[in-house]
Structure formats: structure tokens, C-alpha cells
């Protein structure tokens, strides 16, 4: 009798990006396959290569694929400079209303950093603030840049942060603003946080100004757990937090909306090392681990993370950016070997 394989096959849009994108994507896809997750990858273009083929950095085909699959894994793309193109990332976030940007920062074994007990998560509002792109010329010497904050935007991101905390067994959520200066816009963000927290009595809360947060983060980051904040502060603070765990090369991120999510490494397309086979796929791999957790492939996500950390800990096959001399292929093959023995 034929035995049916009941494990789920996932349909996921794959954007392998520009520069080092295709190299790190190939490595990550092989690792996911080796972990036994069944995925139909729907390969699509965005960025420079998309522009060359479709005369658009974000073709309709790519949008339609994400609309259909609801989930995408995206490698970094090159933003043409001085051409007036809107950032593809900002376009994607707007189109799919990916209002929550989630950036966990936790120490990685073997990467030496000033602190060895960092374990925090930045929840960044992803659609409003100055990223709404509203700027007006008042006169030749005066520009009016709008910081757009809405009640709906504040409510959904604060709620997201609390729900995330509960789902991920986290104890504390802090709100980060500059409400002492931005009394109306950040004031609304802070007041909304105070309203939303009433529904989550099990979660400890605190309030902190963004400048003080930056100082505290570089002195004592372990005091923080989940931190929710408006878009611009989140953009800056999440890079600071990536620095606490070894830099952008190892940092992961997820952009999450109501019914769609895009997972991506936070570093760029690294044109200086493209096509050399030496790029570190860790950032994209850890973003893929977030994706596997999101699609409920939790066992495979854990297996991949354990294998990655084992390779990191042994330190024999690290890529150049981490002080080693391994190629992308050697590093990823070592992870695959660990997967098969565990
Ligand atoms: P970048 O992050 O590409 O590179 C900065 C430095 O880090 C370079 O020395 C690079 O070699 C190194 N690096 C980055 N990722 C690495 C990896 N995985 N392994 C080893 N080394 C790595 O930043 P840059 O040079 O400012 O931007 C290059 C392009 O990427 C630009 O067109 C920019 O707009 C785009 N970009 C795209 C992003 C995205 O698609 N999410 C995010 C940031 C930048």
C-alpha cells in the first residue's frame, strides 16, 4: 500500500535579489531542503535584475506572486542611486501593509561582543512616520517634512508587540518615544500604548525616551526584552542592536502584515564582494528560520538554528566577515552536515 506523505508543502515567493543575493539565497534554500521542509519556491525578481528584464524594480509578476503565496523570502536588492526610484522595500511594505517590522537581537555563540547576555526584540512600526514620504517645499530655503502618526497605526503595532510577547514567552514590553518633544505625534503613540497595555495585565511594561534608550543599550542591554517604537526610531535602534550581537551580517528580520509576511536579511547587496562566493548567508538564514517558525515548521527551524550555532561555535568554517576563510558553499555545507547527524 502506498504511504501518503502528509507533511505540508508550502508555496513561498523567493526573491534572490542583487549582488550577493543569489549566492546566499542558493545556500539558504539548500539548507532548508536538507532540513526536510517541503517548499515550492516561486522565484521572482526585484531590484536591478528586475529592472533590466521588466523595466521595473518591482514588477507586477512579483507583486502577484506575493499576493497569491502570502509569504516571501527576500534577499537584499540594490537600490539604484540618483534615479528617483522609490525604495523597493518601502513599496513592498506599503503595498502589503506590512505594518510590523520584527528584529530580534540575541547573542550568537562564538561571536565575541562587549555583552554576552543580549536577548531583546525590536518591534518597529513599519508604515508611518517620516517614511510616509510627505515633504513639501515651503520656499527655496524651507522644507516641511511630515511625521505621520495615526491612531490606527499606534494601536495595531502596540497590540502586535504585546501579542508577540505572549506568543514568544516574553515578560516585558517597553514603549520607546520622544514624547517629551513630539508631544502630539509621539504623545499619541505613548498614550495608545498605555491604553493597549490594559488588555495585557500579565505583561510587565515600561516607558523610555529614545535617547536614553540608546545610552542604556550600549551600557546594559540585558535589561530590555520587547521594545515597541515608531518607524524612524525603530530603523536606527534596530541597527544599533544588530551591532550588539555581531553586526548586520548576522541579523534577521520579518515584515509582518495582517495576511502577508516578508522575511529578509537586514544587510544590503554587498556589491564589493558579489560573485566571489565568500558572502555570509547567516542573516538570510536566520530570517528564513523566523519564516519557518511563522509557517509552523518549528522543529525544522530549531534544527537549522542549532546546526548554524554549532558551526559558529566550532569556528572552523567561518566566512571572512567573521574572521574565517570559508566560502559561502563550505559554510553552508558544514551546516547541512550538522543537520544530517542531529
Ligand atoms: P551592504 O550591507 O551591502 O554592505 C556593507 C558592508 O558589509 C560591505 O563591506 C559588505 O561587503 C559587507 N556585507 C554585507 N552583507 C554581507 C554578508 N552577508 N557577508 C559578508 N559581508 C557582508 O551596504 P551598502 O554597501 O551600503 O549597500 C549596498 C546596496 O545594498 C545598496 O544599493 C543599498 O541600497 C542596498 N541595500 C539593500 C537592502 C535590502 O535590500 N534590504 C538593505 C540595505 C542596503
96 and 147 in a single domain? The answer is no
Tell the residue nearest (CA) to atom 24 of ligand 1.
Answer: 268
When pLDDT is cut at 50, 70 and 90, the band that residue 112 belongs to is confident
Its pTM stands at 0.93
Is 143's pLDDT higher than 60? yes
Closest CA to 125 of 247, 237, 234: 234
**Mean pLDDT value across residues 148-173:** 97
**Measured CA distances, 170 to 153, 162, 165, 205, 258 (Å):** 23, 9, 5, 11, 22
CATH number at residue 177: 3.40.718.10
Residue-averaged pLDDT of the chain: 94
Is 179's pLDDT higher than 90? yes
313 and 338 in a single domain? The answer is yes
How remote is the CA of residue 156 from the centroid of ligand 1, in Å?
A: 31
Q: Which numbered atom of ligand 1 lies nearest the CA of 247?
A: 7
Predicted local confidence at residue 109, as pLDDT? 82
* Ligand 1: lining residues by beta carbon, under 6 Å: 20, 24, 76-79, 89, 248-249, 264, 267-273, 279-280, 283, 321
Asked whether residue 240 is domain-assigned, the answer is: yes
241 and 292 in a single domain? The answer is no
Last residue of a domain, one of 245, 280, 302: 245
175 and 294 in a single domain? The answer is no
186 and 228 in a single domain? The answer is yes
Residue from 47, 93, 267 to probe ligand 1 pocket by mutation (most atoms less than 8 Å from CB): 267
73 and 134 in a single domain? The answer is no
**Measured CA distances, 60 to 44, 68, 83 (Å):** 10, 12, 20
118 and 241 in a single domain? The answer is yes
Report the C-alpha gap between 175 and 187 in whole angstroms: 11
Is 245's pLDDT higher than 60? yes
Predicted local confidence at residue 237, as pLDDT? 97
148 and 233 in a single domain? The answer is yes
Asked whether residue 130 is domain-assigned, the answer is: yes
99 and 196 in a single domain? The answer is no
**Measured CA distances, 39 to 165, 227, 297 (Å):** 28, 33, 11
142 and 193 in a single domain? The answer is yes
pLDDT per residue over 57-90, tens digit each? Answer: 999 999 999 999 999 999 999 877 666 667 888 8
117 and 209 in a single domain? The answer is yes
Domain with 51, as residue range(s), is 1-104+255-342
Tell the residue nearest (CA) to atom 12 of ligand 1.
Answer: 270
Asked whether residue 237 is domain-assigned, the answer is: yes
Asked whether residue 227 is domain-assigned, the answer is: yes
Give start and end residues of each alpha helix (H) in 197-272. 210-219, 231-244
When pLDDT is cut at 50, 70 and 90, the band that residue 111 belongs to is confident
Asked whether residue 331 is domain-assigned, the answer is: yes
72 and 160 in a single domain? The answer is no
How remote is the CA of residue 245 from the centroid of ligand 1, in Å?
A: 17
Structurally, the chain folds into a number of domains equal to 2
Last residue of a domain, one of 201, 223, 245: 245
Last residue of a domain, one of 245, 272, 297: 245
Asked whether residue 169 is domain-assigned, the answer is: yes
Asked whether residue 250 is domain-assigned, the answer is: no
Amino acid at each position: 500500500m502506498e504511504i501518503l506523505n502528509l507533511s505540508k508543502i508550502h508555496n513561498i515567493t523567493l526573491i534572490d535579489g542583487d549582488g550577493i543575493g543569489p549566492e546566499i539565497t542558493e545556500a539558504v534554500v539548500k539548507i532548508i531542503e536538507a532540513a526536510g521542509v517541503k517548499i515550492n519556491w516561486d522565484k521572482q525578481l526585484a531590484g536591478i535584475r528586475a529592472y533590466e528584464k521588466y523595466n521595473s524594480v518591482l514588477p507586477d509578476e512579483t507583486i502577484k506572486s506575493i499576493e497569491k503565496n502570502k509569504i516571501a523570502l527576500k534577499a537584499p536588492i540594490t537600490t539604484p542611486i540618483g534615479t528617483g526610484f522609490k525604495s523597493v522595500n518601502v513599496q513592498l511594505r506599503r503595498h502589503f501593509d506590512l505594518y510590523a517590522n520584527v528584529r530580534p537581537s540575541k547573542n550568537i555563540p562564538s561571536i565575541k561582543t562587549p555583552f554576552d547576555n543580549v536577548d531583546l526584540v525590536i518591534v518597529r512600526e513599519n508604515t508611518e512616520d517620516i517614511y510616509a514620504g510627505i515633504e513639501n517645499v515651503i520656499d527655496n530655503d524651507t522644507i516641511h517634512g511630515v511625521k505621520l502618526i495615526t491612531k490606527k497605526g499606534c494601536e495595531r503595532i502596540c497590540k502586535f508587540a504585546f501579542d508577540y510577547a505572549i506568543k514568544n514567552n516574553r515578560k516585558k514590553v517597553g514603549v520607546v518615544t520622544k514624547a517629551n518633544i513630539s508631544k502630539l505625534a509621539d504623545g499619541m503613540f505613548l498614550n495608545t500604548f498605555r491604553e493597549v497595555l490594559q488588555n495585557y495585565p500579565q505583561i510587565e511594561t515600561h516607558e523610555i525616551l529614545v535617547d536614553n534608550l540608546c545610552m542604556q543599550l550600549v551600557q546594559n542591554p540585558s535589561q530590555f526584552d520587547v521594545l515597541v517604537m515608531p518607524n524612524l526610531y525603530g530603523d536606527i535602534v534596530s541597527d544599533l542592536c544588530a551591532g550588539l550581537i555581531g553586526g548586520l551580517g548576522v541579523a534577521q528580520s520579518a515584515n509582518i502584515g495582517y495576511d502577508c509576511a516578508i522575511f529578509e536579511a537586514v544587510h544590503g547587496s554587498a556589491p564589493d564582494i558579489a560573485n566571489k562566493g565568500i558572502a555570509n548567508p547567516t542573516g538570510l538564514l536566520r530570517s528564513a528560520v523566523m519564516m519557518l517558525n511563522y509557517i509552523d515548521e518549528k522543529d525544522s527551524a530549531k534544527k537549522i538554528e542549532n546546526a548554524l550555532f554549532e558551526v559558529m561555535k566550532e569556528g572552523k568554517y567561518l566566512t571572512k566577515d567573521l574572521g574565517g576563510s570559508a566560502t559561502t558553499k563550505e559554510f553552508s555545507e558544514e551546516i547541512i552536515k550538522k543537520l544530517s547527524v542531529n
